[in-house]
Structure 1
Amino acid sequence: MSERVITPRNRGFLFLDAHPAGCRRLVNDMWDSVDARPTQSLGEDAPVALVIGSSAGYGLAAAVAGLARAGIRGVGVSFEKAPSARRTGTAGWYRTAATAELARKAGREMRFLNGDAFSDGMKEQVADLVEQRFGRLDHLIYSVAAPRRTDPETGVTYSSALKPIGSTACTKTLVFDEDGKPDVREAVTEPADEDEIAQTVAVMGGTDWERWVSHLAGRGLLADGFSTAALSYIGSPLTADIYRQGTIGAAKAHLEQTARALDARLGDLCGGRAVTSVNGAAVTQSSTAIPGIALYTGLLRGVLGDRMVSPVRQLSQLWDQFTGVCPLETDDEGRVRLDTWELAPDVQDAVADRWQAATTANITDVADLDWFHDRIRQLYGFSVPGVDYSAPVETDVPWPAD
């Protein structure tokens, strides 16, 4: 037993510890927000899914929505740190434990593996588990955000860069001082060179996704009608210089190119589909590192309020399309669009007006910073309603057993 009171300690948007009870409550609340379909006792007929990146952000939303709404069984993969004598486990460690417990109570067989999704060893481990426990794979959701990737064939490690392409980018950004006071500044980012672009594509493009599909296909595990989606983002013109038109955008373009190639290949192989799913804005551990995104997201919330569509609600829509509740609809580029609520012209016009007007003096009037602060803290299990943070909590939570 290792109970203690956990108080938040952070450096900017990065917190040093996570709160197990807060993480558990957050996952429970996500599950409860999903509109479950009535016929979920499917047993061996339940769809078998693999969710890569299942412990955080949209990958977590995919796992929770898949379990609660689509009744999936299968495997989740993530890379998290266990609790130690000095530190709590990572937030994703506790979120995974909570997801597994909810799956067990709902009668869903969901296995969770902890390790490097980029490695061939993890691919082989997952393939063995699918073959032994489920016999087939119906769906694969790919949601991996990492700063670097080691190519298992060459041993070369690639590192991603958050930079514009072609010219220097100047964008408004939002930072907070040590006391949490907001400051609107201009961030100047020099353009990436060709090597930085190539390395970012190697980390965040479609190469690893394609390797996963190829490995599973090579083991004969893809069911007839198999479908797969890589989760992506396009975003607003306000952030395009550093995002969609920058190095990350080059990686997303490669992801979409990979989707088109996989879609044709899977169609011939098993009557399957491959798409990218373009999701709407959300506060995630990866997005807060991108200049301008924190400001944009706070302004978007200021415009939309509760009309923002949560990740778990968006992924519920994707599961409905994957499982045939409604047709799988794509745009001309072969992308499922779950971001139309964000990119509606009237919404973007309103956000653009606030973006132009935003200063340090008026930022609390034009952006919902209370909501933004809460969402940042909730990534680590803090500021979750209904949790007593003055009470000791058990930090030595085990990884879900087989």
Structure 2
Amino acid sequence: MNERVLTPRNRGFLFLDSHPAGCERLVADMWEACPEPVREPAGDGPVALVVGSSAGYGLAATLAGLKRAGVRGIGVSFEKAPTARRTATAGWYRTAATADIARAAGRDLVLLNGDAFSDAMKDQVADLIEQRFGGRLDYLIYSVAAPRRTDPDTGTVHASVLKPIGRANRTRTLVFDDDGAPEVREVETGPAEGNDVEQTVAVMGGADWERWIDHLAGRGLLADGFATAALSYIGSALTAAIYRQGTIGAAKAHLEATARSLDERLGRTVGGRAVTSVNGAAVTQSSTAIPGIALYTGLLRGVLGEGLVPPIRQLAALWDQLTGAAPLELDEEGRIRLDRFELTDDVQAAVADRWESATTATVAELADLDWFRGEVRRLYGFSVPGVDYTARVATDVPWPAHTA
């Protein structure tokens, strides 16, 4: 068994190793933070599929679904196994911890590792639904953030980019030096060129979500009243040029258009629903790659403090609405809005004031940097309270087995 003491090694916000015990404790803490169910599900509980179940809001959707809605079913993610030189990815260890929690809670959860964009994975999931879960799927949560996608029909590899549309964008961003000291920098991102928008939409838009629905519907696996939600983000005017008005924003607009099309179709065929769920800001492995988001999120936490709603509580609220435990509350575009705590006028005005005042000299007074640094480290299992980081830890944790 490969055991060693792990210390964080990183390049910016990207860490080279992950801590198994820290990831396990983090998942346990999320489970504890999830509210208890409003009511216990009848029978074995509804069957759910979470695509993108190992990180960020997808992980929160999985845990909240198990605890709050009493679901059973399948989670799909794409993670790297441990090697002799490197630990597994953090999502690998979080998945192992999620499997342990599901088992202890008496929930039948199968966790698959592979390319969610592939038809082979869709076939594997469909077979499991048929053979293990009674041949009917009640819910599908779609939470995928990826740099590239291979189109199963053409074999074309599409690559997503983070670029503004129309012209270059200059924004402030937050970085930390090797000693952890913060620096506010101005960065410029060049505009989308060529087919950058189309490429990003092909990866991050609604095409794969719709393909999942097509695949499962084609096998007759959608239960009456089937509901599906794709997780999304709008964010602040401060980050709009690089996000909501940029290439990723074009993909999110496509995702929302897909939701409207799927909603009409599912309502007609199975009495079902399709929505996008707009979540609030959080520190995730995906969000830290977006220029300006780190600074914005740190400032937002500085304004809201504990009022910044964590993903696990947001996703508990989503499950309440999907299952009927709470009324379905949609905006004028047909989206569930879990970001209202973030986008009120007074909160955004306070963040904007701090944004204008933020410099390397002042940012520590304006943003909650200790919280932000800790959140980044916790993505990889470090800085999790209650974990002894001086102890040797086994890194060759196996992927959860699923037996009938």
Name the CA distance, whole Å, in 2 between partners of 1:247 and 1:69.
34
Residue equivalent to 2:161: 161
Residue equivalent to 1:57: 56
Runs of 4+ with >2 A deviation: 38-44
- Secondary structure of the structure 1 residue equivalent to 2:277: strand
After the TM superposition, which of the residue ranges 166-175 and 242-251 deviates more from structure 2? 166-175
Name the CA distance, whole Å, in 1 between partners of 2:81 and 2:162.
29
Task: Kindly provide the amino acid, as one letter, of the partner of residue 94 in structure 2.
Answer: R
Name the CA distance, whole Å, in 1 between partners of 2:145 and 2:268.
30
State the Cα distance separating 1:40 from its structure 2 match: 3.4
Name the CA distance, whole Å, in 1 between partners of 2:162 and 2:223.
38
Residue equivalent to 1:90: 89
Q: Is 1:366–2:366 an aligned residue pair?
A: yes
State the Cα distance separating 1:194 from its structure 2 match: 4.0
TM-score, length basis structure 1? 0.99
Residue equivalent to 1:331: 331
Contact 2:74 2:125 in 1 (8 A): yes
State the Cα distance separating 1:170 from its structure 2 match: 1.2
Number of aligned pairs?
401
Residue equivalent to 1:259: 259
Contact 2:266 2:273 in 1 (8 A): yes
Contact 1:65 1:312 in 2 (8 A): yes
**Residues 87 and 51 (structure 1 numbering): CA distance in 2 closer, same or farther, change over 3 Å?**
same
State the Cα distance separating 1:41 from its structure 2 match: 6.3
Residue equivalent to 2:186: 186
| Pairing of 1:296-375 with structure 2 (within 5 A) | 296-375=296-375
- Secondary structure of the structure 1 residue equivalent to 2:299: helix
State the Cα distance separating 1:342 from its structure 2 match: 0.2
Task: Kindly provide the amino acid, as one letter, of the partner of residue 132 in structure 2.
Answer: R
- Secondary structure of the structure 1 residue equivalent to 2:73: strand
State the Cα distance separating 1:366 from its structure 2 match: 0.3
Task: Kindly provide the amino acid, as one letter, of the partner of residue 110 in structure 1.
Answer: L
Name the CA distance, whole Å, in 2 between partners of 1:353 and 1:207.
39
Contact 1:260 1:334 in 2 (8 A): yes
Q: CA-atom RMSD, angstroms?
A: 0.9
Residue equivalent to 2:150: 150
Residue equivalent to 1:102: 101
Task: Kindly provide the amino acid, as one letter, of the partner of residue 341 in structure 1.
Answer: F
Residue equivalent to 2:75: 76
Q: Is 1:202–2:205 an aligned residue pair?
A: no
State the Cα distance separating 1:190 from its structure 2 match: 1.3
State the Cα distance separating 1:69 from its structure 2 match: 0.9
Residue equivalent to 1:288: 288
Name the CA distance, whole Å, in 1 between partners of 2:66 and 2:245.
35
State the Cα distance separating 1:38 from its structure 2 match: 6.3
Contact 2:41 2:69 in 1 (8 A): no
Q: Deviations over 1:43-92 (max 9, x none)?
A: 43x11000000000000000000001111000000000111111111100
Contact 2:20 2:90 in 1 (8 A): yes
- Secondary structure of the structure 2 residue equivalent to 1:330: coil
State the Cα distance separating 1:187 from its structure 2 match: 1.2
Residue equivalent to 1:386: 386
Gap regions ≥5 residues in structure 2: none
- Secondary structure of the structure 2 residue equivalent to 1:327: coil
Name the CA distance, whole Å, in 2 between partners of 1:260 and 1:170.
34
After the TM superposition, which of the residue ranges 22-31 and 178-187 deviates more from structure 2? 178-187
Q: Deviations over 1:121-147 (max 9, x none)?
A: 000000000111112100000000001
Task: Kindly provide the amino acid, as one letter, of the partner of residue 50 in structure 2.
Answer: V
State the Cα distance separating 1:3 from its structure 2 match: 1.4
Residue equivalent to 1:114: 113
Residue equivalent to 1:242: 242
> Percent identical across equivalent pairs?
74
| Pairing of 1:121-132 with structure 2 (within 5 A) | 121-132=120-131
Q: Deviations over 1:172-195 (max 9, x none)?
A: 111122222111111111110240
Task: Kindly provide the amino acid, as one letter, of the partner of residue 245 in structure 1.
Answer: Q
Task: Kindly provide the amino acid, as one letter, of the partner of residue 11 in structure 2.
Answer: R
Name the CA distance, whole Å, in 1 between partners of 2:322 and 2:10.
39
State the Cα distance separating 1:334 from its structure 2 match: 1.0
- Secondary structure of the structure 2 residue equivalent to 1:149: strand
Contact 1:42 1:71 in 2 (8 A): no
**Residues 232 and 22 (structure 1 numbering): CA distance in 2 closer, same or farther, change over 3 Å?**
same
- Secondary structure of the structure 2 residue equivalent to 1:201: helix
State the Cα distance separating 1:327 from its structure 2 match: 1.6
Task: Kindly provide the amino acid, as one letter, of the partner of residue 218 in structure 2.
Answer: G
Task: Kindly provide the amino acid, as one letter, of the partner of residue 98 in structure 2.
Answer: T
Task: Kindly provide the amino acid, as one letter, of the partner of residue 329 in structure 1.
Answer: E
